[in-house]
Amino acid sequence: MRRRFGRWMFMAIAIPVAAWALGAIADKVEERNGPDSKAAKGLRVGKKVLRPGS
In this structure, how many other beta carbons lie within 10 angstroms of the beta carbon of residue 20? 14
Question: Is the confidence at residue 1, as pLDDT, over 80?
Answer: no
CA–CA gap between residue 11 and residue 50 (Å, rounded): 11
Which own/partner contact pairs does 36-39 have at CB distance under 8 Å and 24+ positions apart? Answer: none
Q: Closest by alpha carbon to 43, among 15, 23, 28?
A: 23
Prediction pTM value: 0.74
pLDDT tens digits, one per residue of 19-36: 999 989 999 999 999 888
